[in-house]
Structure 1
Amino acid sequence: MDPSRSASNSQPSTFPSTYDPTNIDSPGFDPETYVTKLLRETRLTQLIDKEQLLTKQIKTLDNEMQTLVYENYNKFISATDTIRQMKKDFKTMEDEMTHLISTMSTINSNNHQIHLTLDNRRQEIRKLTSIHLLLQKLQYLFQLPNKLKEYADDNQYDLAVNTYTKALKALQKYEHIPSFNHIQQTSKETMNNIRDELKSRFDQQQTTSSNVVKLLLQLGESSDYLAQQYLSQNKHRLEQPLALMKQQLIVAENQLGSTSSTISNTVTQQMHPMDILEFVDTSYNSYIKNLHEFVESYELLFIRNSSTVPSSPSIDDEYKERCKHYLEEYLLELYSNYIKFIHDLFQSKYYGQDDDIQLYVRAIDRFLRRSSNDIYKYLLTQHALEKMRLMLDTFLTFAIECRLKFYHLYIDRHFHDQIIELRKSLTIIQTTTTTNEQVQSSSSTENQQLQLNLSQCVDKMLKQLTSDIKITFQNLSTFLNGTEMIGHTGKKNLFVKQFATNHVWNGFFLTLLHRLITYFEHEYTTASNNSTMIRHEQSSPPILLLILSKLILDFDSSSIPYLCTVFEEKFNLILENNQRGDNQKSGSSSIDRSTLTAVQKQFSIIAKQLLKQYICSQGYTLSQMLRKSIETRDWLNTIEPRHVRSVMKRIIEDLTQIDKQVRMLYNDQQSSVPLTSSSSSYGRYYHRSNLISGGGRSSDGGRRTIIMPRSSALDRATSRGPGSSGGSTGNLQLNFHKVFNEKLDIFIDLQFQKTSILSSIIKLLLKTYLECIRLKTFSRYGLQQVQVDINYLYNYLWSFVNNDDRFITNLLEEIVSSTVMRCLDPILMEASVITVICEGN
């Protein structure tokens, strides 16, 4: 930095900085002041450096100046030559201008002389010229009738109309003159004949309609009649492309496997199915483009064309408004027909059920965008535009609903196919199991494989159903990708919310859940009806009810929350419980999930109903087996029991199979004791403090639990004695008291657990056993046989309920007590003998 500058800047000055005498770049620079200041304020070394710097800068400026001079030398020379040439050119131009001025003065003088000479005859020439023109017009008018007849004879109607319209004003002006009136009448007759001929051809469509309409309009024909007739005549021509497209659609339907064909083989061979996007473009180009051209010609004929018939402006405007109204009604009708065809296209089997969702959405978007832009090309009123927009909005909703219907059918087909496959598998497994039981050769590995297949069925069905719904969410989100959306420019956020809420959430997901509920309710109702009809054979195996109940539970607990998360991610919405309906609090990007909560409650109810029906079905099968065995046996003439009845063994085997099936799908929280099938591990023997003591001791000193009748029942039976009737009244009162006061709730506290399910089946079985016993009378050996059967059942039934066998003990004791009350000779079998018989079996 220059010290002189810093000093000058630090001191106040009345001059501006640009006029500083010590600033070498300033206009007010003073060399003496600058040198004096340097000598006074700088040292010698600094002066030497400053001198060297100035010298260097001077040389640099000299070099730059020389460069500028060299560069501009040629320009200076050419500029000098140009100025010299311009001086010569200006001198020549001055001479030419002087000559031009003299020539113009000569011309003016000559013109003045000619004007003076011809001024006397000018008026005469004008009169002669006007008379000549008038004679030509008169000649034209006198020759008009003959010309019109010649044009009519030669079918040159356009020349006749143009000639007549040119002379019409003159004829109307001088129609009061008899000669002109005669010409006008003769010409009118000729033009009337021409008009009748044109009208006849127009009605019969023998000539091009637009040309005939122009001529008829010039001849003053009614515009209302012509407009309506013109629209009617072109309707068939405009609908021909649509008819061809309908044939193309039928060809595609026939190729899909339709047996009924309404098209000839030649047409079928000429047409090849296109994809839906190409089909929409082709139909639009062939139909709507023709419609655009027709509208343009109609507007030129009836709306934009100025009438040649003289009329007031108000009448002309009224006529144009009527023509506009005819056109609007016509367009709405044709456009409605086209929209109906597009509806048929998108709901057809060939195009509406195409898996390519990208092409499907592009076709919808292409059609709506082109239609939304093209409807403004017509001179339509706001009312007509609103109708067309409503048609497009209705089509969009229809196309989306068609796609939702396709996905519903797709998922239903997959689900029902799995149900059918599952029914077949269960039928095969049931047949195989029955065969193995007859042969007595079923192995444990086969049972494990059976369990594995059943457990995989639920997982497979659940994964398939969840995957189908997830893929559908992914496909439906395509409607919102890459578009504004589909005719809703500027309202994308609103459309996204409406589409996700009304169509995806309510129209697809909740509707699908309701369809599943309807199916499960049908299965439950069918199974319930079959049970009430007292039939052993059922339309569905009972295990299917158990599988469906498990499927519903897993779908409700795992799949629905997962699908809700997928829905929120795909459509950027939040599911909230908004029971009060406070939308402002929840926000515009949220959806009320209270309906889903209600649906999930229905799922839980139906799952429990299916489980109850499974229990009823299995309990009914076992109860029928037990009831028949009791009713068909003569309990008064039975022999002394030496073995357990085979029906009891069959019941235990069936319960074991049921336990395996239920255990695979519903496990308890605590570990269960496995049930062994070998005869060596017979039953369970241990001390039970809550049972009535009365059992005998075994030889090994252990205490075995034996089901014995209650002491009160035994006392009443022994006090009555054989053959006595004194206690019959008391027994009858006791029976009535038990029937009306003792109620066993089979489904009390039913849980989705193995123990709860098996407990309900066993309750139903033992309750049937008790009711069947109350209808029979027993001898001594009959009573002892019941003792053996009851203890055999008890030794196995406890394992199915994980030691929670208090209700089993109570029911079995009630059965034995009831048998004692109905025994003629109530002598019980010793506990040791019962144990030996049960161990032997």
Structure 2
Amino acid sequence: MASGGGRVRAASLLSSYYGYQEEAKETTTNEEDDMNIDSSAFTVDKYVGTMLQYKSLEELVHRGNAMVSEIKSLDSDMQMLVYENYNKFISATDTIRKMKHRVEDMESQMIELEKNMGTISSASESVDSSLSARRGQLEKLNGAKKNLTKLQFLMDLPARLQRCVRDEQFETAVDDFRKARRILRAVGNVSSFRGIEDEATLIIKRLAQVLSVRIQQPALQLAELGLTTRLLLQLGGNEAVLLREYLGRRRRALHDVLTTFPPAGVAETGSGGEDNAPVDNASTAAPAAAEEEEGELSAAAGDVARLGEAFVPQLLELLAEWQERFVGETPEPVLPDAAGAAAPSLTIEAKESMILDALQELTGSYIEVCRRRLQEDNVDPSSLLQGVRKLVGALDEVHALVPQAKIMQRATRAAETLAKRAMDSLLQQLQDKLSAQVKDMQGATNSASLQEQLHEAGKAISAHVLDALTATAPLLVPMCKLLNLRADGMAKHLVGRLYAALLGLAKTARESRATADSVLVRAGLCLHMVATGVAQVPAMLKAQLAPHGLGGAALGFDSASMTREMQASADALLERFVEMQAQKLSLEVTQRMQAQNWLKCPPPRDVNLLVDRIVRELRGMQGLVAQVLPGEPIRSMMTQGPFSSARSSVQLNLVQRRESSQQPASSSAIQKDLQRMFARKISLSAAAGKPSVTSMLTHVAKLTLKTLVEEVRLGTFGREGFQQIQLDCAFLRWVLPSNVDDEGAVLALLDEAIISCQERCIDPAAFEHADMEPFCEAKRKQLASMLG
């Protein structure tokens, strides 16, 4: 029974060790499942019957293959477990055999050790018994020896202090005097010792005077400055004054490092000198790996790294020396009369405040020097990232030692400002490139060259924007990770500056240009940005920012507002183009009308060259504007069909003019309409809706005809001149109405030109329609062949 109970207990322990009991508890609910192949209640016949009843042949084959695979896998696992257990058993057997041999050897060694310990114990008891009678006498002699040593130390004190002062071993002199004062206090009543104390005190006072003079010397080494200050404090100096002087000297020395550090000279020295040039062992002690890394840095980052190597170790040395020499408890002054005369000692909080102020001021100056170097124009974003990494890395140890100084926060703010400034600089360069792209666009002489210019300008703008976004990549995630900043803030700044750069393009396009063709090209560029260019910007932003989880910042680009700005610039430029075209044609009408002698004109045989010029200019304008405003069908100026007659309307107007001349009080409706037309300013901005080819032609035609009417009213015409004006207006009545959207106003202006010419003619005689038609048809054919 006992053996049976032991086996049960062993089985229970093994089950608890390998977790069998927990697994059994978890599988209790599945033990009664007769369809679970891993359950003890599994029924083969029921499982097979269910599978045959509900599964297809393909599923049965698949299940059979799976079970074969599972069986092979289980068999392989079982074999592996057997092999592993066998190997463990063999290993355990070997281990037990080795332990057996070692235990046998250990038993003999323990016996030998026991014998040795007994021998040592016997010897110790023998020595102790032999010396017990003389122990008291030895202790007395030892005490006497110590007293004699102290007495000898006191007797030699003045000479020793003189020697230490002569050899400039000031710290040893002060320490010896401090030790001697503790002894002299115990024997202060003996006159001989009082003389030694007075002589030693006089030497130490002279030493204090020497140290006071020495600390004022500008040539005093920094390594000796801290020790001298510490000795003066021990000799009873004013702690506040001495510590301020110490910090002032150290700060000036570190400022000299910042102001006199020559990046170019250091770089040239580090790159190698002449054959016999002296070599500074301290500068060549850096590891080879660090030199290799330094060689990969840009010029600005290398300057920051070298400045950090020259400045930060001295700053750490200052901090360590301050903590070691001055932060602990100030020792009691060694001079007997200095304890009462010395100023009150500074508290630890006051000393910490002094060093914190010094560290903040020094690191602020160091950060400012690095910032000025890294914000130069020739520092690209990658170099800036390298430089900021060197700056932050150099200050990391200082920040770890004095976190309350908030040095890293100040460096982070400076680096963030540098990153934003570099981003602003890149996007300002983008804005300058976009402005230069707009300014370099010349007027197009034909539709093909205009389309080519717009296509190339659109490609160039997209390339400039993409290059700028690529260049700002180091300033986003890498810089923000280095500074522990939120990258979305930098991304929003990028989006805002990009918007401003593109807005600058729209404003630059509005700047005045000399020719109408260049104005039209700029308008076409703005319309191209409205159609496709603005929509590409959010996509490029998303492609740049989304891989870093900043795709949401791309949504901050206000495409709708930018589209409105571009459309407004395009509308303003198109209006200016119309004005310039109208001014050009109006000036030509004025010059030709004034140059022609209308009283002595030959009989009309052809349409006037002025009309020919107007039609050519309008046709050229139509072709160019159609490229800028695609999607609108181009109407033909050389219409086919019967030649329109203006005889009835002109004659009606002539009759009304005669009646009005006979009755001065009357005023015809046509005169009022024309007066209102001339009083109202004709401009493209006054038209409803967006600019179109037809509306632009309409406004140019109306302004040109208005000038023609004004010039006719100022001239005097003969019969042939009047007939020539009739022929020109008749041809224009045939050409213009099909290409304008205000046919009534154009026809009214042409009629007014004929009527005004008749009133200014000394011998008016109407040109018959039948006589004008051949001339108009010949001119139509001529222009149709020339204009295509």
- Normalising by structure 2, report the TM-score: 0.72
Conservation of the 8 A alpha-carbon contact between 2:215 and 2:225: yes
Identify which of 387, 392, 411 aligns with 2:411: 392
Q: Determine the structure 1 residue equivalent to 2:546.
A: 572
- CA shift at 1:717, angstroms? 3.5
2-side partners of 1:555 and 1:546: how far apart?
14
1:555 partnered with 2:494: no
Q: Choose from 407, 432, 437 the match for 1:418.
A: 437
- Does the CA-based 8 Å contact 2:304-2:387 persist in structure 1? yes
Count of aligned pairs between the two proteins: 658
Deviations 1:15-70 (A, max 9, x none): 99979xxxxxxxxxxxxxxxxxxxxxxxxxxxxxxxxxxxxxxxxxxxxxxxx99x
- Give SS of 1:572's match: helix
1:474 & 1:599 partners in 2: Cα distance? 22
Question: What is aligned with 2:284?
Answer: none
- The normalised TM-score by structure 1 is 0.68
Determine the C-alpha separation between the residues in 2 that align with 1:109 and 1:17: 60
Contact 2:427 2:501 in 1 (8 A): yes
Aligned match of 2:568? 605
AA of the residue aligned to 2:305: D
**CA spacing shift, 1:750–1:293, aligned 2, 3 Å:** same
**Are residues 1:377 and 2:373 paired?**
no
Q: Is the 8 A contact 1:779 1:826 kept in 2?
A: yes
Q: Does 1:331 align with 2:359?
A: yes
Q: Structure 2 CA distance, aligned partners of 1:809 and 1:666?
A: 26
Distance verdict in 2 for CA 1:763–1:305, change over 3 Å: farther
- The CA deviation at 1:791 is 2.1
Any idea what the Cα deviations from partners look like across 1:690-711, whole Å, max 9, x if unmatched? xxxxxxxxxxxxx544476444
Corresponding residue SS for 1:549:
helix
Q: Which amino acid aligns with 1:621?
A: K
Larger Rg: 1
Residue in 2 that maps onto 1:218:
234
Residue 174 of structure 1 and its aligned partner are, at CA, apart by: 6.1
1: CA distance between counterparts of 2:659 and 2:102? 161
Letter in 1 for 2:702: K
Task: Assess if the C-alpha contact under 8 Å between 1:415 and 1:461 holds in 2.
Answer: no
The structural deviation recorded for 1:276 is 3.8
CA distance in 1, matches of 2:113, 2:175: 57
8 Å CA contact retained: 1:346, 1:399? yes
Residue of 658, 661, 672 corresponding to 2:621: 658
Alpha-carbon separation, structure 1, partners of 2:708 and 2:226: 97
Instruction: Tell me if structure 2 keeps the 8 A contact 1:707–1:787.
Output: no
Q: Does 1:161 align with 2:174?
A: yes
Question: Residue in 2 aligned with 1:51?
Answer: none
Q: 2:494 aligns with which of 504, 509, 521?
A: 504
Contact 1:550 1:665 in 2 (8 A): yes
More helix by share: 2
Given the alignment, which residue of 309, 312, 323 partners 1:299?
323
Aligned: 1:476 with 2:472: yes
Residue 458 (structure 1) aligns with: 454
Amino acid at match of 2:544: K
Cα shift readout 1:282-326 (whole Å, capped 9, x = no counterpart): 3322222332223222322222475354999xx998433333222
Relative to structure 1, is the Cα distance of residues 810 and 594 closer, same or farther in structure 2, using a 3 angstrom cutoff? farther
Equivalent residue number for residue 467 of structure 1: 463
1:202–1:209 CA contact under 8 A, matched in 2:
yes
* CA pair 656-737 structure 1, distance change in 2 beyond 3 A: closer
Query: Separation in 1 of the partners of 2:409 and 2:321?
Result: 27
Equivalent positions of 1:788-807 (< 5 A) are: 788-798=727-737, 800-801=739-740, 805-807=743-745
Question: Aligned AA for 1:164?
Answer: F
Native 8 Å contact 2:644 2:734 kept in 1: no
User: For 1:146 and 1:475, how far apart are their aligned partners in 2?
Assistant: 75
Residue of structure 2 in register with 1:54 after alignment:
none
Distance of aligned partners of 1:206 and 1:646 in 2 relative to their CA distance in 1, 3 Å threshold: same
Separation (CA, whole Å) in 2 of partners of 1:321 and 1:813: 100
How far did residue 516 of structure 1 move?
1.9
C-alpha contact (below 8 Å) 1:220/1:309 kept by paired residues:
yes
Matched, 1:344 2:372: yes
Question: Residue by residue, what CA displacement relative to the aligned partner does 1:768-818 show, whole Å, maximum 9, x if unpaired?
Answer: 2233334445454443222122123334435655x9855433332233234
Structure 1 CA distance for aligned equivalents of residues 725 and 749 of structure 2: 13
1:325-724 matched pairs, under 5 angstroms: 325-350=353-378, 352=379, 354=380, 357-371=381-395, 373-379=396-402, 381=404, 384-385=405-406, 388-423=407-442, 426=443, 450-481=446-477, 485-488=481-484, 495-501=486-492, 503-506=493-496, 508-521=497-510, 523=511, 526=512, 539-572=513-546, 589=552, 593=556, 595-633=558-596, 635=598, 640-673=603-636, 683-684=638-639, 686-687=641-642, 704-706=644-646, 709-719=649-659
For 1:751, what is the secondary structure of its paired residue?
coil
Distance in 2 of aligned mates of 1:404 and 1:719 = 76
CA RMSD of aligned residues (A): 4.5
The 1:323–1:642 alpha-carbon spacing in structure 2 relative to 1, beyond 3 Å, is: same
Q: 1:278 corresponds to which residue?
A: 302
Q: 1:74 & 1:455 partners in 2: Cα distance? A: 91
Q: CA deviation at 1:609?
A: 0.5
What does 1:791-830 correspond to in 2, within 5 Å?
A: 791-798=730-737, 800-801=739-740, 805-823=743-761, 825-830=763-768
Does the 8 A contact of 1:615 with 1:761 survive in 2?
Answer: yes
Deviations 1:202-252 (A, max 9, x none): 221334323323322332322322322223323344345534655539999
Distance verdict in 2 for CA 1:820–1:374, change over 3 Å: farther
Unaligned runs of 5+ in 1: 1-14, 20-67, 253-270, 431-449, 527-538, 576-586, 676-682, 688-702
- Share of identical aligned residues, percent? 17
Superposed CA deviations along residues 664-707 of structure 1, whole A, max 9, x for unmatched, are: 3323433533x6xxxxxxx54534xxxxxxxxxxxxxxx54447
> Is the counterpart of residue 758 in structure 1 residue 771 in structure 2?
no
1:735 to 1:317, Cα distance in 2 relative to 1, 3 A:
farther
User: In the TM superposition, what are the counterparts of 1:731-810 in structure 2 within 5 Å?
Assistant: 738-740=674-676, 743=680, 745-747=682-684, 748-749=687-688, 751-776=690-715, 778-798=717-737, 800-801=739-740, 805-810=743-748
Shift of the 147–788 alpha-carbon distance from structure 1 to 2, 3 Å rule, reads same
The Cα offsets for residues 441-463 of structure 1, whole Å up to 9 and x where unpaired, read as xxxxxxxxx43222111111111
Find the aligned partners of 2:742 and 2:99 in 1 and give their Cα distance: 124
Quick one: which amino acid aligns to residue 417 of structure 2? F
Question: Following the alignment from structure 2 to structure 1, what is the Cα–Cα distance between the partners of residues 170 and 102?
Answer: 74
Are residues 614 and 708 of structure 1, via their aligned partners in 2, closer, same or farther at CA, if it must alter by over 3 Å? farther
Are the structure 2 counterparts of residues 398 and 380 from structure 1 closer, same or farther at C-alpha, using a change threshold of 3 Å? closer
One-letter identity of the residue aligned with 2:208: R
| Contact 2:527–2:628 under 8 Å retained in 1 | no
In structure 2, stretches of 5+ residues that fail to align are 9-88, 269-293, 780-788
Counterparts of 2:553 and 2:97 in 1: how far apart (Å)? 81
AA aligned opposite 1:330: A
Q: Secondary structure at the match of 2:767?
A: coil
**Separation in 1 of the partners of 2:106 and 2:230?**
68
Q: CA deviation at 1:655?
A: 2.5
Output the CA distance in 1 between the equivalents of 2:483 and 2:551.
22
Amino acid at match of 1:340: E
1:39 is matched with none
SS in 2 for 1:422: coil
Secondary structure of 2:353's aligned partner? helix
CA distance in 1, matches of 2:211, 2:96: 80
Q: Which amino acid aligns with 2:630?
A: N
2:15 corresponds in structure 1 to none
Alignment-mate amino acid for residue 406 of structure 1:
S
2:157 aligned residue: 144
8 A Cα contact 2:534 2:562, kept in partner: no
Whichever residue aligns with residue 504 of structure 1, its letter is L
Sort the Cα spacing of 1:597 and 1:308 in 2 relative to 1 into closer, same or farther, 3 A. Answer: farther
Q: Contact 1:708–1:813 at 8 Å: present in 2 too?
A: no
